[in-house]
Amino acid sequence: MDGSLDIWAEAPSRGPRLLFFTGGSALDGTSRELKRYTHNSVHLVTPYDSGGSSAVLRQAFGMPAIGDLRSRLMSLADERVTGHPEGVRLFAHRLPKDAGREALRAELDSIVSGWHPLARAVDIHNRGLIGVQLDAFREAMPDDFDLRGASIGNLVLTGTWLRNARDLDSAIAEFAEYAAVLGEVHTVTNDNYHLVADLSDGSRVIGEHLITGLDLEPLGARIERLSLSQNQNTFTPVSSLLPESRRRMIATADMICFPPGSFYTSVLANLLPRGAGRAIAASPVPKVFVPSLGGDPEQVGLSLTESVERLLQTLGADCDTGTPASRLLSHIVLDSRRGHYNGGIDRAAFARLGVEVLERPLVSDDSAPLADPHLLVEALLSLA
């Protein structure tokens, strides 16, 4: 560890305010490393997931997706707090996918009552808090709710949301206090919308889980445009507005980062709300893109240069004509020695855009071909 990281590690409560536009689980390992050096990071995650446990909850309650939100909250939770490891194990637990309705309900009841082995391992105070939130979910759960594969953490967060009059920001604050989260995590907006991708072959796909290609077959054509729909079954165009609270978060950040992850559904999707591009352009701090390593199904056929151009196009669509690219993106962090980038590294193209290329060691023997969380955190903190 170099001297600068030593300094941050001594006083993480005074660490820099790094803001990430992110989603999914790609940054969870980095977040666990980051909290060693700063307790002030801000994570704006996408609310558009349309698959798995989140999809069932969205359909039942008309709420934004919370799976990515819950995952990031837990990766930033203070591991020194009594009961944390046990609570994390309970939140990570999923009900069986192959059990019958009565068996699923019985297991949920045993967790609510505190008799389930995973619940009994949690200290009595926190066990009671979890039981209250889960009971709120259970009471509101529709009779036909499908509990197969349900994430207990998602159900707890849903119960907290219900008990806070369906105010997601208030629910997050309560959940974060319980888990002693060392940083801030928010959805970029609290809108219950769905992600739409227009493809190069003229087709259109609605639903994040169909776009990302992680659980299903990757799309057969390149993504040309992202937008939002109010309805998942029928394309109903809708625009989203970045909340004023999120604008303040951007304005007070010490650095803005577009990190590794699914390029369209995790990074660009976060930039769709009106006001995001303008808020980023107005900030004088470093704006840093760290491209994914190891392959991203969403970027098949897309070169590194094209990825940067797509990022700038998405940000610039919200800004005045003629806004310099350097106000939207100042740095791109690369490991040309051990990292693989589609189409190679066109330094001349980045120079024409006014984007500075920073060479940093990102890939270790243990992490290859992906970025090593410690090396990535070290690179980011050097820019803050």
Spatial neighbors of 139 by CB under 8 A, at least 6 apart, are none
Q: What is the pLDDT of residue 213?
A: 64
User: Does 133 reside within a domain?
Assistant: yes
- 74 exposed, middle or buried (CB, 10 Å; 0-12, 13-18, 19+)? buried
User: Does 103 reside within a domain?
Assistant: yes
Is the per-residue pLDDT at 93 higher than 50?
A: yes
Residues 131/114, Cβ–Cβ less than 8 Å: yes
Q: What is the pLDDT of residue 214?
A: 53
Could you read off the pLDDT of 22-42 as tens digits, one per residue? Answer: 987 889 999 999 999 999 999
Same domain, 140 and 250: no
User: Does 62 reside within a domain?
Assistant: no
Q: Is the pTM of this model over 0.85?
A: yes
Adjacent-strand bridge partners of 43: 20, 185
Q: To 10 degrees, the CA torsion angle through 81, 377, 296, 94?
A: 0
Same domain, 93 and 155: yes
Helix (H) or strand (E) holding 86: helix 84-92
Rounded CA-CA distance 304/284 in Å is: 25
Percent of the chain with pLDDT over 90: 83
Could you read off the pLDDT of 98-132 as tens digits, one per residue? Answer: 999 999 999 999 999 999 999 999 989 889 999 99
User: Does 15 reside within a domain?
Assistant: yes
Domain edge (last residue) among 133, 162, 179: 179
Domain edge (last residue) among 179, 199, 231: 179
Same domain, 259 and 333: yes
- Which string of b and e fits 121-151 if b means at least 16 CB within 10 Å? ebeeebbebbbebbbbbbeebeeebebeebb
User: Does 260 reside within a domain?
Assistant: yes
User: Does 299 reside within a domain?
Assistant: yes
Rounded CA-CA distance 37/196 in Å is: 37
User: Does 269 reside within a domain?
Assistant: yes
Same domain, 377 and 274: yes
Same domain, 14 and 91: no
Range of the structural domain that residue 326 is part of: 3-46+241-381
Same domain, 127 and 248: no
Same domain, 245 and 376: yes
Same domain, 246 and 376: yes
Could you read off the pLDDT of 149-160 as tens digits, one per residue? Answer: 999 999 999 999
Could you read off the pLDDT of 350-369 as tens digits, one per residue? Answer: 999 999 999 999 999 999 99
Which CATH number characterizes residue 356's domain?
Answer: 3.80.30
Kind of pairing, strands 255-258 and 18-22? Answer: parallel
Residue 363, CA distances (Å) to 264, 283, 339, 374 in order: 23, 30, 7, 10
Rounded CA-CA distance 237/231 in Å is: 8
Spatial neighbors of 348 by CB under 8 A, at least 6 apart, are none
Rounded CA-CA distance 21/279 in Å is: 13
Residues 204/196, Cβ–Cβ less than 8 Å: yes
Same domain, 354 and 281: yes
> Span 322-330, mean pLDDT?
95
Rounded CA Rg of the chain = 21
Print the SS3 string covering 166-211.
Answer: CCHHHHHHHHHHHHCECCEEEECCCCCCEEEEEECCCCEEECHHHH
Is the per-residue pLDDT at 224 higher than 70?
A: yes
Is the per-residue pLDDT at 84 higher than 90?
A: no
User: Does 132 reside within a domain?
Assistant: yes
Weakest mean pLDDT among 31-35, 178-182, 331-335, 344-348: 178-182
Same domain, 169 and 40: no
Structurally, the chain folds into a number of domains equal to 2
